Amino acid sequence: MSEPASHVAVKAPTPAQQIVAHKFGGSSLADASCFRRVAAILHAQPEFRQLVVVSAMHGTTNALIALAETAASGAPDWNTGWQALRDRHLAIVHDLLDARAHATLAWIEQGFAQLANLLGALAVLGTPNREAFESIQGLGEVWSARLLADFLAMQGVDCACLDAREVLVVNHGELGAAVDWSESGARFAEWRARHAQSWLIVTGFIARTRTGRATVLGRNGSDYSAAIFAALCDARELTLWGDTDGVLSADPRLVPDAIPLPSLSYDEACELAYFGAKVIHPQTLTPVIARGLPVRIRNTFHPEHPGTAIGEVAAVGAHSPPVKGISTARELAVVTLEGAGMIGVPGTAERTFGALHRAGVSVVMISQGSSEHSICCVVRDADVADAETALRRAFAAEITRGEIHSVGVARDISVLAAVGDGMAGTPGIAARLFGALARTGVNIRAIAQGASERNISVAVASADAPRALRAVHSAFWLSPQTLSIGLIGPGKVGAALLRQIQSARPRLLHDIQLDLRVRAVATSRRMWLGEAGAADGWNNAADMTCDLDAFARHVQAEHLPHAVIIDCSASDAVAQRYADWLGAGIHVVTPNKHAGAGPSARWRAIRAATAGGARFRYEATVGAGLPVISTLRDLLDTGDEMIAIDGILSGTLAWLFNRYDGTQAFSDLVREAHALGYTEPDPRDDLSGTDVARKLVIFAREAGVELDLADVAVESLVPESLRTHSAETFMDHLPQLDAAMAARHAHASRNGSVLRYVAHLDHVGTARVGLVELPSSHAFAHLRLTDNIVQFTTRRYRDNPLVVQGPGAGPEVTAAGVFADLLRVSAALGAKL
């Protein structure tokens, strides 16, 4: 009968005799340089007495299993693999021991000869033999333990080497290998009485059954061995050395920003390990939990890092997050038993789980609604057929009578678990987790939370699992909130935006854990797809023909939680794609007016597409960097009523008429504005008034007024005779504007007025843009340079209209407005702005 670890009858050592236990995994023992590194780590430890458990050299166990399978299949070529494995071990012996290698070489040769005999016997049998397989699997640990012991002895260390099969007795049951603590303790005490060396090298992974048959401990068996022997020798601490800086907050293959956790409680470590954290296995912790033995996970290749400390209670810092880590278990399926006949019927759950137990199906997660209408189980995908058959058989009568409606199966499922002792009693944890999944467009299939509140688990489609993991990981501020960004239109505004993002990115990453990652840039003809944080040097990259479908697929990367496309073009064709992008969960930020002022049907489709949670931000379409759309929204959302909106909405036209005083030809001012970059490449885009009209349409739609561009009365400043020529021809004939403009200016001056190009909209939908005369006392008469100004006359601001004024032209200003919208999207996704 097995006893708990706490009942081991081994005399407790004095502090001077106390042992510290270590375990080194296969990656830590990959070659001769690794053995030297391990020895150096052990020599650097302050403890006098050390117990060291070792795995096989990296890749050895897999090679031994492959040899055994090849031999058992009757294939004649197992000798090639045997020879390669033998040569590898002999080469390391020569490298480490050099002139003193004779005895170790002879011992290794003997071990490989025995292996050859076993493989030959399997080949003769032509069938797998469990005892032979397990004997072969454990040989790697025997060889690596002897090699490390001989190398340490050569360095003058007083050490002994223990084949764990001499003392460790286990029984295999449903829960794996169970230690016979009484028998193992007695054998170990007897062995230590004969081997009192201060350092002890022990084989991991292998043991012996009560009948004396060699066996192995299964997955992560060397870690389990280390915990067992640490308990047997009453070690003060156990350190598991591997190739990571401790237990990470998530799988680094899925979350590159995963961070090492300074400390975990035993419970937290068990939860994370069960749901896929590869650093430690739950079974490893069983012996140490019973004794309260501290465990530390450290990196052989980075020994100066303190790693992760695991104990009864995790250390709590001032900024310790309630969630310590996020794990996923993959290759699962959901089996659902559903029916009205289950409601209020005792024993349904018992019958369900009893049927699964008899079928040998392990249940990973359970979920049942309070209505008792359904029971949902998550099982291994490999077991789903057995689970479905078992449930149909168990409830065959109820299915026939219609009391059970269905036994449903959903495959390709992953379970995501958020784990942390700090979750208990902390309001809002579930809300933050579910909100993060919703914002990234991940649907939840099932939910489970234990009464301890230490774990919230959700079942999601496996295709969504990487994105879900990253979203939740960043939602709890365990890693930066990452946005995958694609920029269309790297012209003046787009280029300025790239510079601004590049400049602000380090600060945002450091101060608020926001990672704005520009991963794609497209012009009308070509595009760049990459991984760079701010698209450094994209313009020098190899040309790729622009394909906006491929562009969007790259931006919406599976491994990143959030995707944003920023359209800084003036393309109607690009705006046509917004609804599809938003519907796919890609956020859109733009200064492109074609979406907001385009066909009404397209505008409605864009707005409808945001119902799924994707954000559409377009503040810069009207006021560049001015908060005019958000101001209008705030007024209307708080119950105010729009009476009229008036404004100077073109920085270019504002600059022209602020400067035009009749002393200089109007055409000269247009050329100057063009040279300064204030106008579009073709100044007629500004002078025609169409751009202002589009802004007015956007305002109208935001205010709830149904308006199309054709409904706006537009006064163009471009003569009819120059509207169809090329831009170059137009620039050559600019002086044709001068006479008419001089006459307009003279008339305004005689009336004590100024000329301003003004947009007007009222609540009934009257909309016009054009050149008007305003008294010199008017608010619009005293603007600076490229200032835009918007005047909101509302029910609350009827007598004293609300005015928003500021720069309204220039690439830097517009880019800043777009950047602000990008940050608003980031805040909505959980960034700590």
The helix or strand, by DSSP H or E, that contains position 564, with its residue range, turns out to be strand 562-567
Q: Are 255 and 470 within 8 A, CB to CB?
A: yes
Greatest Cα pair distance, the chain, in angstroms, is: 117
Long-range contacts of 676-684 (CB under 8 A, 24+ apart): 677/492, 677/810, 677/811, 678/651, 678/652, 678/786, 678/809, 678/810, 679/652, 680/570, 680/652, 681/727, 682/727, 682/730, 683/652, 683/727, 683/730, 683/731, 684/718, 684/722, 684/723, 684/727, 684/730
Structure tokens at 737: 């504007």
Q: Which of 768, 777, 762, 756 is nearest to 648 (CA)?
A: 756
Q: How far apart are CA 133 and CA 139, in angstroms?
A: 10
Q: Read off the tokens for 64.
A: 């031994």
- Which residue(s) pair with 178 in the sheet? 171
Which one from 11, 593, 695, 832 is the annotated catalytic residue?
695
Query: In Å, how far are 412, 544, 655, 711, 731 from 684, measured between CA atoms?
Result: 57, 32, 15, 20, 9
Nearest residue to 490 via CA among 551, 418, 567: 567
E strands along 674-807, which residues? 713-714, 753-762, 767-775, 787-794, 802-807
Residue 458 corresponds to which tokens in the numbers above?
A: 């959700």
Question: In this structure, what token pair is assigned to residue 489?
Answer: 């239109």
CA dihedral 395, 397, 399, 402 (to 10 degrees): -140
CA distances from 374 to 339, 344, 392 (A): 6, 11, 14
Q: Which helix (DSSP H) or strand (DSSP E) does residue 374 occupy?
A: strand 374-380
| Burial 264-274, CB ≥16 within 10 A → b, else e | bbbbbbbbbbb
Count of residues making up the chain? 833
What DSSP string describes 158-177?
-EEEE-GGGT-EEEEETTEE
Phi, psi for residue 378 in degrees, rounded to 5: -105, 125
Consecutive H or E run containing 284: helix 282-291
> Does residue 832 carry a catalytic annotation?
no
Two structure tokens written together for 471: 């979203």
Tokens coding 226: 């280390």
* Cα(815)–Cα(399) distance, integer angstroms: 63
Distance CA 479, CA 502 (A): 20
Tokens of 76: 């004649």
Q: b/e for 226-254, b at 16 or more Cβ within 10 A?
A: bbbbbbbbbbbbbbbbbebbbbbbbbeeb
Task: Output DSSP code: residue 45.
Answer: -
For the chain, the helix, strand and coil percentages under 3-state DSSP, each to the nearest 5: 45, 25, 30
Report phi then psi at 338, rounded to 5.
Answer: -135, 140
| 792: nearest Cα among 632, 679, 672 | 632
Name beta bridge partners: 709.
Answer: none
- Active site residues per annotation: 695
